[in-house]
Amino acid sequence: MSELYRLNGRIPVPCKDSEEWATWYGNHNRTVAKDEFGDAVISTVFLSIGHGFSSNDMPVLFETMVFGGELDEEQDRYCTWEEAEAGHMAMVARVKQGLQA
């Protein structure tokens, strides 16, 4: 199974080879969502390289990460675009909650 992926719309698709992956990677925006609150930036992206730990797992291809603020370097990873969107909103809520405390 390929560890390199591209998006077809919002669906991850395995690449045939590293050349296909590099061409896609260099020409596409991988951002799912990005928000800023206070000193924190919450960024969710398509990683394009599978981060699963076994061949039976779904590839982990999306990541939300916080840069700055109280939750600096906090991260979560997901398998699907839909999970990434939901995870992004959950992280935004956590950052906002920290600002209100």
User: pLDDT, tens digit, for every residue of 13-39?
Assistant: 999 999 999 999 999 999 999 999 989
**Structural domain contains residue 63:** yes
| CA-based nearest residue to 76, from 86, 49, 41 | 86
**Structural domain contains residue 52:** yes
Distance CA 60, CA 75 (A): 13
pLDDT band for position 69 (cuts 50, 70, 90): very high
pLDDT band for position 100 (cuts 50, 70, 90): confident
**Structural domain contains residue 10:** no
**Structural domain contains residue 7:** no
Q: Tell me the residue range of the domain where 55 lies.
A: 30-100
Report yes or no: 62 and 45 within 8 Å, Cβ to Cβ: yes
Domain count across the chain: 1
- Entry pTM: 0.91
